[in-house]
């Protein structure tokens, strides 16, 4: 075999190895990927049944109801155009409240409701922890 053929064979094997490892990585991540939906997306596109998704929006005012067990809650997520009922069992984040942003990870039921396995509370971009806000006021200097 000539040196040119050896190089071409080696390059072909390297390319096949990279393609094979990429295919394995993508097939492994396929089940772990979580798609993001808003309630209006679900209303337009239909329910993505049987796979893990993220549902994002605002918690509708007056929609949070807590069960007697202390860890189960039901609430409604809205994006201003559509709403989706959500149920969750577990400890909610500290920032979780009505009229605040939330991302719920879980799955849709055939009846259109969403069963969350994890809640992520969101805050707006102007949020500042109280400790940082206090330090900023202490270090603020006035210009003459």
Average pLDDT, stretch 1-21?
89
pTM above 0.95, yes or no: no
Q: Is the pLDDT of residue 134 over 50?
A: yes
Average pLDDT, stretch 33-50?
77
**Percent over 90 (pLDDT), the chain:** 23
Whole-number pLDDT of residue 57: 87
Which of the residue ranges 6-15, 23-32, 121-130 would you say has the lowest mean pLDDT?
121-130
Q: Where are the alpha helices (DSSP H) in 36-91?
A: 39-45
């Amino acid at each position: 075999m000539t040196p040119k053929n050896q190089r071409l064979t080696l390059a072909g094997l390297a390319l096949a190895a990279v393609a094979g490892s990429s295919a394995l990585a993508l097939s492994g991540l396929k089940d772990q990927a979580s798609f993001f939906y808003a309630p209006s997306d679900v209303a337009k596109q239909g329910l993505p049944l049987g796979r893990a998704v993220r549902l994002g929006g605002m918690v509708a005012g007056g929609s949070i109801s807590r069960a007697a067990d202390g860890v189960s809650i039901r609430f409604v997520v809205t994006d201003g155009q559509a709403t989706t009922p959500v149920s969750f069992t577990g400890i909610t984040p500290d920032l979780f409240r009505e009229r605040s942003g939330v991302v719920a990870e879980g799955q849709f039921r055939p009846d259109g409701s969403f069963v969350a396995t994890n809640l992520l509370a969101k805050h707006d971009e102007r949020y500042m922890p109280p400790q940082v806000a206090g330090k900023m006021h202490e270090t603020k200097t006035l210009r003459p």
